[in-house]
A and B are shown apart, each in its own frame.
Chain A
């Protein structure tokens, strides 16, 4: 009896410590979420000094977004640029994580390299994009180097070529995030029971076999988690392409992501269209988050 009352009083403290989170969540996330959905049903924008609306228009904003064809184009851009960054990211992260966690390699200076690969993530994305913009500009250092080495005869306009601009954005995202992914995958690999590796070695498995037959299958839940969180991050890609192309998404809007498009609407204070687009993105992101929960569930059931 006495013991039980003690548990209850501990619970009380638990709830008290949770209050700050719930207050912050309600004020900064829940209320804005609800008002965004509410706003998406109205025609509400500003034309110069005049305010138009808010007039209730039902689902007209959604209709406009879904039928204009622009959304699919920008969704496609986002997906392509994300893939350009994600494929090398997952490849190098797996490789590095496998090397770092392999006890037989005994790599020197692990701590140093772990810090170094994580460092690009600490640079502000906008600063990183500015840096690349200057490096790859028509008369910038990269072009001078390539010309001096005799590889190019005249400057290459990186930001006028669809492929080059997309690749640069993908490359920047890769550089910024592969350290983070490596650390996540390392955490996953360290969680695998070492006796399995030892047993495999005793049975005479090569390190390639160990990686593909033991590490990868047991890493699957973490891999799915990394994939989904990176995909959500990809959908929200904004700062790098925005700064690199000065908000234009050039050439021919081939690097305009969905959030950049949202920003265009919000910039002209078009809350109706902005709200509707946000809700659509919310639904997509919500579906993906649901997939994460599913993935983590299977992990628990396999153990």
Chain B
């Protein structure tokens, strides 16, 4: 018995050390490989440029690659292509594969939290031209928070080199093009979405507290931040919180700043962001909002009537893609939301399609980009099926004036007039390469201040530490 016990203990100890060895070694070996990868970056970019030049001349798809690799961070674009791209066949055995003609489409999904998606792209894109034909990234998707980083580098192809002309994209909103123009004015990506956003309110709560759910009168109750905060106090009396979390209003403030996050290598906290901190602290202290992380289960509770949340802030994609409209009993399922502009106009998110330098499927890439972002039948389909807000002025105009068009989630309201007007107003002049990291870390740090675990200065110090860990090259003061 003694011996057997001892041998079990030894066995366990040995397996543990073996496994421990595996764990530490894998981190170190990746360290090595990416260090060597980095060394070859310089030569790769020059060959990449040559490759980009030569691919532009190809006009038939005859000798192009057999695998189309697409990098993205969620299912959204994938489901758009599956539903709307003509000739796309799903692979029944593997959800991340599909076929267009005889080309296999391979989707790679990396979640975007904590810069994981960006870090992945940073690793593979510089070497893309040297990758083997089937591994070459052909298309990758970008968000506004970090698009500039890729746009201002050689890893992204100029859409002109793919054969896309100014005429093709004349109906797009200017802001969707400004984001993806490099410092010389070359356009490097296209988007099918216009992500102007607004305030999405719970109609039942509005009737209960404000006595009406008419969008114009609700807008009066949230027309600026002072009125918004007064309304929050009224909602509290009836047991509602004005938003699910303080983070809900963050984007509204942060889109209306006077300068970018990083100026001359230094992080600057804008006055409007400071105002977000002060306003939110008051709301949290009064119990008028929570401090949940966005996308967490607690945050989601307000999608259902029992969550007792008055409003969320977001663009069209939040309404149709995130609010669990297909779930029985959710407010979205019962058509219980309404849409108004809110205290300040803002945009949130949006997905840009970019071609990776070194792609071996330029013709197909061009066709996907054009079909998904400019083809009016496809765009209209997207509106009807997914109630997305598409990036096409003429189409939005037509929808805004079409009384027969009603969004079931919004209880029959037609949001497109507001969305179209909002898209014209979006100003992208204050974005920087570092926005995703700064936005995430700032909200994380301030959560501690809102919950009373530290004062504002303590939270700011935490933000500073986190930023220098994420971006060792920028400073705080």
Contact = CB atoms under 8 A, between A and B. Distances in A.
B261 to A, nearest CB: 14
Given A137-B297, A160-B291, A51 B41 contact: yes
Interface string B445-472: 0011001011000110010011001111
Contacts of B290: 138
Given A28-B22, A187-B5, A187-B9, A160 B470 contact: no
A215 B286 CA distance: 58
Interface stretch (A6-14, A31-39, A85-93): A31-39
A254 B453 CA distance: 10
B155 interface: yes
B430 to A, nearest CB: 18
B444 A250 contact: yes
B293 interface: yes
Nearest to A46: B122
Contact of A49 (B32, B155, B454, B466): B155
A269 B21 contact: no
A252 B462 contact: yes
Contact of A160 (B29, B34, B451): B451
A55 interface: no
Contacts of B459: 252
A244 to B, nearest CB: 13
Given A267-B114, A269-B34, A35 B28 contact: yes
A184 interface: yes
- Residue from the set B35, B290, B444, B465 with the largest chain A CB neighbour count within 10 Å: B35
A49 B156 CA distance: 12
Contacts of B465: 70, 253
Contacts of A137: 296-298
B126 A49 contact: yes
A47 B473 contact: yes
A45, A180, A190, A252 interface centre (most CB from chain B within 10 Å):
A252
B155 A191 contact: no
Contact of B472 (A49, A186, A270): A270
A167 interface: no
A28 B21 contact: yes
Contacts of A191: 2
Given A137-B298, A252-B454, A264-B469, A187 B433 contact: no
Contact of B5 (A44, A48, A183, A246): A183
A47 B471 contact: yes
Candidate in A162, A269, A271 with the most chain B CB atoms within 10 angstroms: A269
Interface in B281-336: 290-293, 296-298, 301
Contacts of B155: 49
A187 B118 CA distance: 50
B429 interface: no
A266 interface: yes
Contacts of B458: 252
B453 A271 contact: no
A187 B6 contact: yes
Interface of B is mostly: helix
Contact of A52 (B119, B470, B473): B473
A24 B5 contact: no
Contacts of A134: 297
B153 A49 contact: yes
B9 A49 contact: no
Interface string B1-32: 11001101100100000000110110111011
B47 to A, nearest CB: 16
A70 B465 CA distance: 9
A137 B290 CA distance: 13
B301 A266 contact: no
A157 B122 CA distance: 37
Contacts of B466: 264
Nearest to A183: B9
A282 B297 CA distance: 39
Interface in A77-128: none
B41 A268 contact: no
Nearest to A184: B9
Contacts of B125: 49
Interface residues of B, number: 56
Contact of B28 (A32, A44, A251, A270): A32
B298 A138 contact: yes
Contacts of A264: 466, 469-470
Given A29-B21, A36-B28, A48-B433, A248 B444 contact: yes
A49 B469 contact: no
B38 interface: yes
A248 B445 CA distance: 9
B45 to A, nearest CB: 9
A76 interface: no
B223 to A, nearest CB: 31
Interface in A16-74: 24-25, 27-29, 32, 35-36, 39, 44-49, 51-52, 54, 70
Contacts of B293: 246
B16 to A, nearest CB: 10
Interface string B397-441: 000000000000000000000000000000000000100000000
Contacts of A267: 114-115, 119, 470
Contacts of A180: 12
Given A49-B153, A51-B41, A252-B454, A32 B24 contact: yes
A98 to B, nearest CB: 16
B472 A47 contact: yes
Contacts of B448: 250-252
A66 B447 CA distance: 28
B380 interface: no
A46 B31 contact: no
Contacts of B29: 32
Nearest to A264: B469
A259 B382 CA distance: 46
Contacts of A248: 444
B149 interface: yes
Contacts of A36: 28
A51 B45 CA distance: 13
Nearest to A273: B472
Interface string A165-187: 00000000000000010011011
A191 B462 CA distance: 51
Nearest to A261: B469
Nearest to B116: A267
Contacts of B5: 183, 186-187, 190
Given A47-B471, A160-B291, 6 more contacts: A29-B24, A70-B465, A134-B297, A247-B114, A267-B114, A268-B472
11 contacts: A32-B29, A45-B473, A51-B41, A137-B296, A157-B451, A160-B447, A190-B1, A248-B444, A250-B448, A267-B119, A270-B472
A-B pairs, 6 with minimum CB distance: A32-B28, A28-B25, A51-B38, A160-B451, A251-B453, A47-B473
Interface of A: 24-25, 27-29, 32, 35-36, 39, 44-49, 51-52, 54, 70, 134, 137-139, 157, 160, 162, 180, 183-184, 186-187, 190-191, 246-248, 250-254, 264-271, 273-274
